[in-house]
Structure 1
């Protein structure tokens, strides 16, 4: 292809032929200088981009290192915490009771259908958890380390005394009764009740208003000897006591019997029929027991 043909091809595509752009040596020198400057500018930009990339990479590496360090530290803390504050959980079946000796020598008796958790070793705190059920606590005195029982959001603080905490999840109330010494009972609303011997505080789980009563507190732990003593107890409390003692399921209308309160005493050595006959006499119920040890209670209730 000759020069004329090349020029014609450039013009066909609307491109100025190189022969028209660079007519003398000055133009060519100018072009070389411009190309050199563009190359230098490109190199400078690349160097800047490389510095920025290295800086970002350094920051990312530092962030990763910090994250790894945090994870390792957290894992170490959790590892230490787990193996130094491991807990033991005790579940007591219906129809049974159980006695425990805690790490500080304190004693706990758990009623039927109770779940209790405590640490293998006490440290600066002596805190245990009554997750469900009822427990009688006889606490070793330590003026420097208070003993705390947590149950349903209620904390019972003692230095050394004996008391009963009743906190069944199936009941609408929970209570603390003192057999000896003094306890401080507080809730999540910062309400605190100071109880002495033969005093009991009752919390309704709905409104959480504490109600302090005078009681014969020794009766609150009578179940430990197989005796069930309920004074002015709501029907739900009575039903649960029978269910736990005789390992049965009782069906009844909670609304119809909501306002029923009764006092009753019986021993778990008595038969289920004997106890139900006693409830029939004081509450006027009728009942049926099927083969699956399920009891159906009907009656007019206490409207």
Structure 2
């Protein structure tokens, strides 16, 4: 593979550092812009995991993932901290866009409730797609979800992805702490590991629809508005107290679900699909509680 690194204004390679890898933006001889992911830590069963992920992204026709290649011995490294050897990389098309966190911030600054409601619907559809496929991303958070230039949501960073053929392996990492169930550990690796983070992001976007000032007050760069402290000590969370009295029924209801889930021994959320199907139909109007059906003895 032949390519040149894309340079920034300071003539340095465009580079993003993560917990397990670094990502470079490069340009191939054909002019294609790629993301090249180089691993900086050992990932257990890396070839097995990424071979399965690459196959899924290539063949599943999922609109929310990016096709990628796993090259098991592409880069030769000489280093004082690792053996001289060929190392694996992952390549995928470079996606121009903003993170869902950055988009939410812009919409909050503009007070654009309708667009925030639209973003919430789009998020719910993405989550439903994952649930229906029986897969999980494993690290859903504000900067692993991109909004492309045409407004479509794309997931990036598949290090923690669960697929049925990977059943039985441990989680490689536990995801961003401000999005994950407080009881999640490496033993949790199945289609339910995304439930809690799905709800965290869903609730955050819905709450921002009616309280855009919450972003300025509660965003710390590593979250949307909620944090690990809200999950581990919900009874002491000022933010959850605010959300519990929201004018919107869904914010109140999803806050209740979040608190209940955070206290539960299981990280899966029963009825998560029902919550998401409801969210796929919302608008920017505060929702009222559903009316209870009236039964007639003569019906």
TM-score (normalised: structure 1): 0.27
State the structure with bigger RCO (CA 8 A, min sep 6), 1 or 2: 2
More strand by share: 1
Q: Rg bigger for which structure? A: 1
